[in-house]
Amino acid sequence: MRAGILRRRSCSWCPVWYGNYSLEEWSATRKLDHVSNQPFIQDFGNRVRALRIERGLTQERLAALAGMHFSAIGHIERASRSSTLDTILKLARALGIQPRELLPEIELKSTKRR
């Protein structure tokens, strides 16, 4: 944290405590705008979104069915968060599908062992 006196700072739309950071600096340190550059994570999020919409569910309703916080669904769909196996199982159960149906096709490049 920067040296100096902590003071209350707010963005234009809500009063939030950021210390001496501006909203942009604080967001950058929290990686709130991070989107994965891994195609399979983006494909997974797109698949979750498509299945959710196909079933007429909101993010909030899917989260409730899966026992998750609604913001986690948004993070998954935007590929700003990787999912654990536990999360994949929860989502599959909530959507009424097999876990493999959520996973995109992944082609691994061959690697040579030394």
Read off the pLDDT of residues 65-77 as tens digits, 9 standing for 90 and up: 999 999 999 999 9
Q: What is the Cβ-side half-sphere exposure of residue 80, based on CA atoms within 13 angstroms?
A: 11
Work out whether the CA dihedral 89, 92, 98, 103 comes out positive or negative.
negative
Residue pointed to by tokens 């994965």: 36
Question: What percentage of the chain reaches a pLDDT higher than 90?
Answer: 46
The architecture that CATH gives domain 39-101 is Orthogonal Bundle (1.10)
Residue 86 neighbours by CB under 8 Å, 6+ apart: none
Q: What pTM value is reported for the model?
A: 0.64
Q: Answer left, alpha or beta for residue 96, where phi above 0 means left and psi between -120 and 50 means alpha.
A: left
Instruction: Give the C-alpha distances (Å, rounded to integers) separating 82 from 55, 77, 85.
Output: 23, 10, 10
For the cut 50, the answer to whether the pLDDT of residue 28 exceeds it is yes
Structural domain spans, the chain: 1-32, 39-101
25 vs 80, residue with greater confidence: 80
The closest of 1, 107, 114, 98 to 47, measured between CA atoms, is: 98
